[in-house]
């Protein structure tokens, strides 16, 4: 009996990368849906209200991969990028950013699916194609979110998925240079993750399957917030700057704070300089700024920032170092990112003179795997509860096409 789905069309497909890609491309040519839901019929029918709520949340892709056994895969990734933060899986029962997608339960925005080129056929298994999709999404600057409560039953970590060795190498070849694939294969063999013969055979193999290229996903042009829009929110931004006897640098930074397109609510300088060497003229020289100088007799970068957080009164905290030099639109750019993406943290990149940002890196937004305390804007509430915020929309429910992937 055909299941009931009122949010849009319902399409059935075999659970193979080739079949899903063929159906994906055909559907993308004609659909006007806001999103596509890949779903394994064996999970039972998804709850429509839950799925409608998901697409209103921050992010571009929502899945239950960690609940469905994708944690720790592919194994070669631990040798390709062993220190990458996104290689560490959060507990399966919490909401988190994770590229370990499972197409057994995955909601993707339609424009994102078009941008990524659909499902790659370089992998032979559904698990491999899922992981490749999630990794391409993260590489393209998209935000894949693991949402355990999208499943109809209370989330429980399922049995680990099995990933063919061919797919391990197909994913590695899709995203990394040949020398890195070779290194990962040899390290994997040395650690017992695969045999030496497997490592040599698959390292030297060349896949003829088509691999969609990873292109940067730009924010939609019609969603840009103007400076007037940002000012209308009346943001209260605290700039937090620890310092130790580097007043010549600090004065340059404070002078640049004067020219910010968004006026800071307050500027906190946590001065850890020894008492006899402190610059007592600082507050007077910058009396036109909302500057507060707080002294600490015992130096400590973490302690100074914690003190600043405790005494700050802003709704947002901008972390800077005393030797930073900032452009006039620094606060504006960070706040725009937070509001557009409904994120909790916006971090930037620092360049040492005469180094300049590469053209390919300019104006790119991506899921960051670091928290640089010298160029990061944080929602104050997030520092207090250390959790991502969730917003709810009262708009009309989005139209979502569901794909019921039958078992092979």
- What is the reported pLDDT for 352? 75
Dist CA 49 CA 267 (whole Å): 44
- What is the reported pLDDT for 339? 86
Q: Which residue is listed with tokens 């797919």? A: 167
- What is the reported pLDDT for 388? 35
| Structure tokens given for 226 | 């103007």
- The pTM assigned to this predicted structure is 0.76
The arrangement of strands across the sheet holding 316-320 comes to 291-295, 266-271, 237-243, 316-320, 375-379, 345-347
More confident residue, 199 or 282: 282
Q: Over 80: is that where the pLDDT of 241 sits?
A: yes
Q: Over 60: is that where the pLDDT of 210 sits?
A: no
| Structure tokens given for 364 | 């790119």
Q: Over 80: is that where the pLDDT of 360 sits?
A: no
Dist CA 248 CA 234 (whole Å): 32
**What is the DSSP secondary-structure string of 300-339?**
-HHHHHHHHHHH---SEEEEE-TT----TTHHHHHHHHHH
- What is the reported pLDDT for 200? 79
Q: Over 90: is that where the pLDDT of 403 sits?
A: no
Mean local confidence (pLDDT), 272-300: 92
Give the list of residues 6+ apart from residue 3 with CB closer than 8 angstroms, or none.
Answer: 10, 41, 45, 404
Phi, psi at 146, each rounded to 5°? -85, 120
Q: Give the sign of the dihedral formed by CA 302, CA 287, CA 333, CA 312.
A: positive
Give the list of residues 6+ apart from residue 291 with CB closer than 8 angstroms, or none.
Answer: 254, 266, 267, 269, 282, 283
Q: Over 60: is that where the pLDDT of 392 sits?
A: no
354 burial (CB, 10 Å; 0-12 / 13-18 / 19+) is exposed
Give the list of residues 6+ apart from residue 158 with CB closer than 8 angstroms, or none.
Answer: 67, 68, 69
- Using the 8-state DSSP alphabet, how is residue 242 labeled? E
Q: Over 80: is that where the pLDDT of 7 sits?
A: yes
51 and 37 Cβ atoms separated by less than 8 Å: yes
Mean local confidence (pLDDT), 164-176: 89
Dist CA 278 CA 276 (whole Å): 6
| Structure tokens given for 276 | 């006899």
pLDDT digits (tens, 9 = 90+) for 291-303: 999 999 888 888 8
Q: Which residue is listed with tokens 């509860």? A: 385
E strand intervals along 201-244: 237-243
- Of the pLDDT bands very low, low, confident and very high (cuts 50, 70, 90), residue 335 is very high
Q: Over 70: is that where the pLDDT of 390 sits?
A: no
Dist CA 289 CA 266 (whole Å): 8
210 and 121 Cβ atoms separated by less than 8 Å: yes
pLDDT digits (tens, 9 = 90+) for 63-110: 999 999 999 999 988 888 888 888 989 999 999 899 999 999 999 999
Dist CA 100 CA 77 (whole Å): 11
Q: Give the sign of the dihedral formed by CA 145, CA 149, CA 151, CA 154.
A: positive
Cβ neighbours, 10 Å, residue 105:
25
Give the list of residues 6+ apart from residue 56 with CB closer than 8 angstroms, or none.
Answer: 391, 392, 393, 395, 398
């Amino acid at each position: 009996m055909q299941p009931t789905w009122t949010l849009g069309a319902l399409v059935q497909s075999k659970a193979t990368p080739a079949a899903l890609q063929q159906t994906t491309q055909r559907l993308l040519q004609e659909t006007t849906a806001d999103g596509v839901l890949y779903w394994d019929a064996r999970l039972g029918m998804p709850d429509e209200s839950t799925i409608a709520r998901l697409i209103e949340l921050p992010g571009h892709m929502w899945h239950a991969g960690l609940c469905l056994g994708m944690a720790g895969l592919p194994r070669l990734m631990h040798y390709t990028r062993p220190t990458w933060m996104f290689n560490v899986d959060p507990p399966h029962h919490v909401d988190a950013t994770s590229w370990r997608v499972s197409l057994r339960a995955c909601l993707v925005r339609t424009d994102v699916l078009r941008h990524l080129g659909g499902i790659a056929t370089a992998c032979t298994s559904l698990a491999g194609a899922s992981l490749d999709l999630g990794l391409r999404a993260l590489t393209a600057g998209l935000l894949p979110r693991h949402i355990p409560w999208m499943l109809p039953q209370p989330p429980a970590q399922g049995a680990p998925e099995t990933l063919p060795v061919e797919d391990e190498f197909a994913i590695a070849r899709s995203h990394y240079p040949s020398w890195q694939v070779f290194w990962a294969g040899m390290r994997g063999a040395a650690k017992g993750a695969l045999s030496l013969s497997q490592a040599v055979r698959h390292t030297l193999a060349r896949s003829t399957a088509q691999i969609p290229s990873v292109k940067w996903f730009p924010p939609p042009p019609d969603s840009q917030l103007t400076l007037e829009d940002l000012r209308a929110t009346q943001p209260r931004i605290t700039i937090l700057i620890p310092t130790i006897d580097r007043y010549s640098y600090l004065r340059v930074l404070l002078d640049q704070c004067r020219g910010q397109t968004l006026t800071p609510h307050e500027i906190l300088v946590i001065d850890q300089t020894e008492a006899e060497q402190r610059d007592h003229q600082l507050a007077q020289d910058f009396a036109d700024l909302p500057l507060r100088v707080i002294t600490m007799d015992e130096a400590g970068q973490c302690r100074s920032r914690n003190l600043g957080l405790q005494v700050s009164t802003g709704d947002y905290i901008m972390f800077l170092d005393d030797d930073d030099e900032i452009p006039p639109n620094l606060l504006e750019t960070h706040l725009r990112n937070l509001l557009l993406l409904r994120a909790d943290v916006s971090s930037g990149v620092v360049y040492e003179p005469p180094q300049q940002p590469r053209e390919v890196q300019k104006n790119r937004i991506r899921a960051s795997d670091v928290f640089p305390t010298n160029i990061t804007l944080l929602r104050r509430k997030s520092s207090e509860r250390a959790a991502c915020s969730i917003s709810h929309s009262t708009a009309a429910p989005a139209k979502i096409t569901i794909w019921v992937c039958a078992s092979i």
